[in-house]
Structure 1
Amino acid sequence: MPALKTRTRPKRKRRWTEADLLRLPDDGRKYELVNGRLVEVPTGGRHGRIAAGMVGRFYALHPPGASLFDSSTGFRMAQGNIRSPDVSVMRTERLPEGKAPVGFVDGAPDLAIEVVSPDERMSDLLTKMAEYFESGAQEVWLLFPERKQAHRYRADLSVEVLHENDILHGAPLVPDFAVRVGDLFEE
């Protein structure tokens, strides 16, 4: 008599939670929680230098009525995903009691800035931007080091593509911010 074949069920992938994300060790990697999956976000030396430069430029202005966050800050999107833009600016009035919470921030920042790595897919970036806008963002800036470009997306679905010699302005969110796009990428 032939042996009976047993059916095996495919293993279900583990659904990660916000608590799991908070318990991850600080291993130098950047993660986001997307649809119950832990997603490593590409970073590197150049990426970090550009993001740190942006933080420094905003910090020097100390925009009144706004809070500045780096890439270690998680924002809880309307759909429940946790996203961590490379640089974020949020109106202080949107924070509980005007202060940053100990845990994740509810909603998207008013301005989310992403430094785009060469291996990131545009479809993933568009999905992320849609989540930011659905969750309260007013603007999303994508910085493309390879092209020396900045793409400025607004909640009204307009986009402005800025090249190396163009000036990126922060108004209306950060009125005093202005920088030549090429300066963002200089070594």
Structure 2
Amino acid sequence: MSTQALYRRAVRRETHSPRSALAITIAIVLALVLAWLGTESVLAAIGQQPLLVAPKDIVTAVLTAATAPAPLLVAIGVVAAIVGFILIVLSLAPARQGRRGSIADRTATVVDDRVIAQSLARAASYAGDIDPSQVNVSVGARSARVDVTPTSGRRVDQREIQQAVDAEVASYDFRPALRVKVKLNEQGTVA
């Protein structure tokens, strides 16, 4: 395996969530159902009372399901379809963590979105000559939003902040890339 392929694999592993929690949950539920069926079968074999339902009653209910009322069958089918649809969506949806990766010649770098948010907040506060506590940054999958609350009585140039934040983002080589939008709040804060 080449070094670049190894780096890509490492970055992908660090920036996407594994599906193990979903798989473990499904495995536990199936194990519990099978353990219950096994216990019911053993109890029926030794002639004891069932815990919930005797295996003979389960088989009879399944075989005579076609004679059940139509609304009940439709409800069971809808619930099964919804559960199946949810499992399919969860298995196919991208499970992106709040991280971004970059691959250079001899290194692979993974940076948390919170670090990027702090960096953008610092760039915006320097460009606007405001306190860093007056800048709030939220980073999404492909975009970042910078909310700036100016100090009352002082003028803040939104275009200058936008240029500074865009220059900061342009200096990054992370994938997926970010689009940044700066929003200047109408009401200021007292310094």
Q: Shorter-chain-normalised TM-score: which range?
A: under 0.3
Q: TM-score, normalization: structure 1?
A: 0.24
By percentage of residues, which structure has more strand? 1
* Pair member with larger Rg: 2
**More helix per residue: 1 or 2?**
2
| TM-score, structure 2 as length reference | 0.24
